[in-house]
Chains A and B, each alone.
Chain A
Amino acid sequence: MRRLSEALERIGRAAILAWQIVKVLPRPRLYFTSALQHAYVMGIASLPLVLFMASLGGAVTSQQTGAQFTGGLPLWVVGSVLAASMLTELGPLLTAIVMMARIGAAIAAELASMKVTEQVDALYAMGRDPVAFLVAPRVVAGLLVFPPLVMLANLAGIGAGWGIGLLAIDGLTSNDVIYGMRFYFRPWALIFSLLKGTAFGAAITFIACFVGLEGKGGAEGVGRTTTSAVVITTLVLMILDLMFAPILKAF
């Protein structure tokens, strides 16, 4: 019962933080420059790993599709499955996993460290709003940086899947892949991919900020907070993924 009550209190505090962010958003001069700096660091730092992970995802998808469908279905299906998988699932999700590990964990650790060393209190003491100074720039940066990263991840995954497919699947040609992708493609898949990526980006940065600001208890507490941020974000990402599935079907 106590645990349930604590969990509900935590959800309440998260909702209050979300509302405080919404209230800050109409005043971009408080956070936008900082958000651009964070977006630059997030994007540049994460891009190589995002591209690498997406390439691996694309390469695995095309090979497994080829292995399972060869002889049963025409080979152009590889192109369709590759495009569908990357755009609707792997591109956003793999980007989110990289960003959660690289950026989410770093944000949670940084803010928790600031909390336990009274730096957050110092902001309050100076009459500054920690939400405008610390949280809004990071969340906005996540919103700015995720869509382009997801698009690049989609391209890298499709490119790698295409190339590896040609090498690994007997009889597959580029014409098959192109035909399959064109057969599948609809603009909604691209919009869906961007929406999903944006939601993932907001979730990762928001959860990292919230959990980080709840940090307490010295170095060990910072470690616990970081672990907690990664675990909660993983769960939330999978739940969001589940919630997005019916939206794809609806259009």
Chain B
Amino acid sequence: MIEFRNLHKAFGSLHVLRGVDLVVAEGETLALLGPSGTGKSVLIKHAIGLLEPDQGDVVVDGISIARATSAQLRRVRRRLGYVFQNAALFDSLTVAENLWLAQNDEGEERSLVGCRAEAVGLLRRVNLDESVLDKLPAELSGGMRKRVGVARAIASKPDYLLWDEPTTGLDPVNADNIDELILELGRQLGVTSIVVTHDLDTAFEVGDRIALLYEGRIRAVGTPREMLDNTDPIVMRFVRRNRVEAAKG
């Protein structure tokens, strides 16, 4: 379980998070919606300790991220996978080496060759084949890099996955493929996910619940149906497209 407790974060005079309270239950997929610049990525970066809160805390399976020792934090991070918005692949390493880093614990690495078969399996899950294994990220298209980023995030077989705009920049087929992967990981492996997205289709397709982050706070949270039925004008404006589609359907 991931709990955000009264989380505040400011960058200089910009107060991005103004007291976020949110609980993501075990095995749940929570889609986090919100306008650009409202701090959705900032919020999930707190869950993995990439940012320190100014106030409040994030608790992952009972461990306070703000107060965790570096060893505790490393252990928590090994259980969390993070899909970066721009993939964040190591550009001086090949795809195989990028995956190998995530497949192994620090200081207990298996050989690169020994991890190759597993790496091919990871790539297949994101609709890529082994021909990309020996390529550098610069030799891949943006969409392919993104999918390698997803493969790297799931390489450590995490219990939690934090997806930062997983389908942005992908063609519809691969966006669907990633949506299916999120669903599959949740259903088959019980992975708990937080999916930060602008894509309402993705949010409504993968989210067991949807949360709307607005002006630094959680404005509304509920199942897709509850969000569609929400009469708050801000929520209505945000989910209008899906509301219209639901009505058409």
Contacts and interface: CB of A to CB of B under 8 A. Distances in A.
Interface of A: 27, 29-30, 110, 113-114, 117-119, 121-129, 132-133
B50 interface: yes
Contacts of A132: 106
Given A121-B88, A126-B152, 10 more contacts: A29-B107, A113-B91, A114-B90, A114-B91, A119-B89, A123-B101, A124-B48, A124-B77, A125-B48, A126-B78
Contacts of B90: 114, 119, 122
B220 interface: no
B106 A128 contact: yes
Interface stretch (B25-33, B52-60, B79-87, B180-188): B79-87
A127 B84 contact: no
A29 B108 CA distance: 9
10 contacts: A30-B106, A110-B92, A122-B90, A125-B77, A125-B80, A125-B82, A126-B152, A127-B74, A128-B101, A132-B106
A125 B49 CA distance: 8
B192 interface: no
A247 to B, nearest CB: 37
Nearest to B106: A128
Residue in A27, A114, A117, A118 whose Cβ sees the most chain B Cβ within 10 Å: A118
Nearest to B49: A124
Nearest to B45: A121
A126 B50 contact: no
Interface in B139-165: 152, 156
> Range of interface residues on chain B?
20 to 34
B50 A27 contact: no
B23 to A, nearest CB: 22
A127 B105 contact: yes
A128 B101 CA distance: 9
Nearest to B75: A127
B106 A129 contact: yes
B102 interface: yes
B61 to A, nearest CB: 15
A127 B50 contact: no
Contact of A121 (B75, B84, B91, B101): B84
A197 to B, nearest CB: 27
Residue in A113, A126, A128 whose Cβ sees the most chain B Cβ within 10 Å: A126
A37 to B, nearest CB: 11
Contact of A126 (B45, B77, B85): B77
A69 B14 CA distance: 67
Contacts of B80: 125
